[in-house]
Structure 1
Amino acid sequence: MNIVVLAGSNVGEKSSIVADKVMTELNVKYGVDHSYTLLDLKDYEMQFSDGRNYLDYTGDNKLITETIMGADILIIATPIFQASIPAALKNVFDLLPQSALQNKVSAIIATAGSNRHYLIPEQQLKPILSYMKSTIVPNYVFLLDTDYTAGKINNDDIHFRLEKLIEDTIVLATAYKGIWEAQEEAYGF
């Protein structure tokens, strides 16, 4: 399977730290069984969506949208800014067509400065992913600023929950892939 890890902010470091941790975990636990791509929005120069078809964009916009469209699994690591998802992440969704995530499994990892923002993924990110036809892993991992020290995740429970989220995501994607393939074969053409 083709797995894309999206660090959904063009500023800060916490999304990048957790995205790197996910990439490391994927490589260690699943090795060459899958292909992995890290899209850290800090590393790209993106234009704001202006309503064009995603195929009409060039440069980093085209690279990011085509990489996401080619994924089987999308793991999103995002900070919470002002009780909302970052504009850079929302822009990625705005660039994609409505059914861009159909037959893809999505997982969420969110970092915030306050535990009061725990439900932001439920209220903002899950509805967007659902609207775009993604199959969403029901649980997500939520980290606080206090879970990081000197550029690393310092909470053992977070490490365990990340490992479990990755495992659940791969299991769900594998199961759905089999179901979707059987459904396609049933059409007989």
Structure 2
Amino acid sequence: MKIVGVSGSKMGAKTRTAIDYTIKTLEEKYPDIDSVVIDLADYNVEFSDGRNYLEYEGDTRYVAQTIMEADAIIIGTPIFQASIPATLKNIFDLLPISAFREKVVSMIITAGSTKHYLIPEQQLKPILSYMKAQLVQTYVFIEEKDFQRKEIINDDVLFRIERLVEDTVVLTETYEKIREAKEAEYGF
């Protein structure tokens, strides 16, 4: 199983901190799972122009191909101006419509206030559903007050991240078993 953690912004450190903690938790609890972090701040990703993701080169192709090869994706995103960052939306635009078919996607949201709590529900979940993702329904919402000096200081947030990791792995394993059972019906 391969799980990709995506830090979906070029700005700030809170989302990367949350994704790093999440992947660290994943690696500690499930050492046999292959995991990788893609921090969009570390890559020069071109704007989508409608080409197939395999026709891009360099960082753009690497990011898109790594996400497409994953069994599960943990998306971390800040909320800016009551919306997801353009860098994250661009990743969705680079990928095919059914990019997340048979993939589990979970979310970690960082925001300055509780006023942005519904942005994932109203913006991110519809995009992911349209792209055929199997969503982990609960997501982790982390506020500004939960961080101090690039560390998560709220134990409840740490617990919710651990639960998100567990839910992501269990759901991915469950969908894999369902796919295997369906394929076995064909008898080839």
Same fold (TM over 0.5): yes
Aligned to 1:93: 92
Aligned to 2:4: 4
Alignment partners' CA distance in 1, 2:180 and 2:9: 34
Aligned length: 188
1:24 correspondence with 2:37: no
Alignment partners' CA distance in 2, 1:152 and 1:93: 29
**1:181 Cα deviation from its structure 2 partner:** 1.4
Aligned to 1:59: 58
Aligned to 1:77: 76
Aligned to 1:68: 67
Aligned to 2:122: 123
Aligned to 1:187: 186
Alignment partners' CA distance in 1, 2:157 and 2:42: 25
Alignment partners' CA distance in 2, 1:121 and 1:180: 28
Alignment partners' CA distance in 1, 2:109 and 2:13: 13
Percent identity between the two aligned chains:
55
**1:11 Cα deviation from its structure 2 partner:** 1.1
State the secondary structure of the residue aligned to 1:116. Answer: helix
Superposition RMSD on alpha carbons, in Å? 0.7
State the secondary structure of the residue aligned to 1:139. Answer: coil
Alignment partners' CA distance in 2, 1:128 and 1:188: 35
What is the one-letter code of the residue matched to 1:184? E
Aligned to 1:153: 152
Alignment partners' CA distance in 2, 1:88 and 1:28: 29
Q: Summarize deviations over 1:20-48 as a string: whole Å, max 9, x none.
A: 101110111111x2100100001000110
What is the one-letter code of the residue matched to 1:2? K
1:105 correspondence with 2:73: no
**1:55 Cα deviation from its structure 2 partner:** 1.2
State the secondary structure of the residue aligned to 1:49. Answer: coil
Aligned to 1:172: 171
State the secondary structure of the residue aligned to 1:16. Answer: helix
State the secondary structure of the residue aligned to 1:173. Answer: helix
**1:2 Cα deviation from its structure 2 partner:** 0.4
**1:143 Cα deviation from its structure 2 partner:** 0.4
Alignment partners' CA distance in 1, 2:139 and 2:147: 18
Aligned to 1:34: 33
What is the one-letter code of the residue matched to 1:159? L
Alignment partners' CA distance in 2, 1:176 and 1:19: 23
1:135 correspondence with 2:147: no
Gaps of 5+ in 1: none
Moved over 2 A (4+): none
What is the one-letter code of the residue matched to 1:123? Q
Alignment partners' CA distance in 2, 1:100 and 1:186: 25
What is the one-letter code of the residue matched to 2:179? W
What is the one-letter code of the residue matched to 2:29? K
